[in-house]
Amino acid sequence: MFDALTDRFEGIFRGLRGRGRLGEAEVDEVLREIRLALLEADVNFKVVRGLVARIRERCVGAELHEALNPAQQVIDIVHQELIATLGGETIRITFAPKPPTVVLMAGLQGSGKTTNSAKLARWFKQQGRNPLLVGADLQRPAAIEQLRTLGRQIDVPVVSKDLTSIGGEGGDPVEVARRSLEEARRLGRDVVIVDTAGRLSIDAELMDQVRRIAEVTSPHYTFLVVDAMTGQGAVTTAENFHAALALDGVILTKLDGDARGGAALSVKEVVGKPIAFAPTGEKLADFDLFHPDRLAGRILGMGDVLTLIDRAKEAFDEDEAEAAAAKLLEGQFTFEDFLEQMQQVKKMGPLGGLIGMLPGVPKELRNTEIDDKELGRVEAIIHSMTLEERRHPDLIDGSRRSRIAAGSGTDPSEVNALLQQFREMQKMMKRFGATPGKRKGKKGKKGGRVTPKGRPMVSAPGLGRTELKLPGLN
């Protein structure tokens, strides 16, 4: 979403680095470029005006840090002010001393409210909580069924119109919400997530219903789900809901889309409430707290290593990663191990998104469209091998290559290329593992046996940080 803004900032800072000093005129010239970049990214004009004013105040007449040149000083100030504009700190979720903790989900129809209610329930489960989902959108029967389907996927119970005294297609969502608290206590659930009804646009009936649900449930957190793809419309929606509900935070969806991203930079200053969560994918696992400092770093082309590490920790089993690292360094890494590592890397998300999180990645590579289907071709080749061939690739001769290619729908030359690159990787890693002083194993043996504890195999072939090249991605 922020690729265009990142490119503009990189161009601005590239010009800055060639200057020996920055006077008031030079600062104004830089700020003019920053103002244009932010406005083109659909950032609210009031937010742009305030952000540029703060940057100018800190840049003009400021004493330069002796360890930084003028360009680095400006970049540092812009980074800090972007973090402040995005909310400053990550929101802290606390729990009610007397359960249940109630979370009210509001938003317009189509914003992803029901899906994100389930994502939030899964997130609470990861925090060791026992959530209950409440379907209070009784006007749209499909919403209740969708919530039940999602609830089954994450093993979280869902209650809805079965709690109301009115049967059939009708029902009172306010009564459902009120009785859900009693049901949560009966079931021993300590978090209640209420999915309310939405509309195509804000109207009096919608606001009245959400207000009454808030009155009977006294939510500890009220989150508004807004679609980042709607641009400044997302900010307007947040303003209107906040006037009626007193929001605690915003869940900004579709930040991985191709919109310009101005809503993310505008919500906090315009509405006065932080972005709490910013899911970047459609899967239920694609959900976590929003970190202003990480997004600011990505916007300025600094990468997002912390999020990359978090995803790796979630996708990789620590013991399995250490065992795979030991086998890799000893030259015993097989196609079976490679297949397992590649599948774990895929759990971390699309390769294009992972590359964008790495600092210092050239613009050309960051903006390259990487088709994850190419990894599927490599998987197909490995799956077409017999168990013995995966463990002992040297057994694969010309006739076996033809059979593997036919079974995987690829060309024998692709199979041959993968085998050759895999052998080169094995030789390289074996030499690396045998080099004195390079690695130390758990028992201190020469050559080393494992990577440092807790360092997942992100540098395995699937991410291309070894000599191995994948067919179709070279």
Closest CA to 262 of 51, 3, 2, 55: 2
User: Per the omega criterion (within 30 degrees of 0), is the bond before 100 cis?
Assistant: yes
Predicted structure pTM score: 0.63
Which of 161-175, 234-248, 343-357 is the least confident region?
Answer: 343-357
If you average pLDDT over residues 227-231, what whole number do you get? 76
Least confident of 31-35, 339-343, 349-353: 349-353
Whether the CB-CB separation of 132 and 183 falls below 8 Å is answered with: yes
Domains and CATH numbers, the chain: 3-85 (1.20.120.140), 101-291 (3.40.50.300), 309-463 (1.10.260.30)
Most confidently modeled of 10-19, 87-96, 149-158, 302-311? 149-158
Which range (134-138, 170-174, 378-382) has the least confidence? 170-174
Asked if 335 and 393 touch (Cβ cutoff 8 Å), the reply is yes
The residue with greater pLDDT, 275 or 360, is 275
pLDDT in tens, 368-379: 555 566 777 888
Q: Is the pLDDT of residue 382 over 90?
A: no
Reference 295, options 32, 52, 6, 46; nearest CA is: 6
What's the one-letter identity of residue 18? Answer: G
SS3 194: strand
> Averaged over 27-36, what is the pLDDT?
84
Q: Label residue 438 by pLDDT band (50, 70, 90).
A: very low
pLDDT digits (tens, 9 = 90+) for 42-62: 788 888 899 889 888 887 755
pLDDT of 264 reads 75
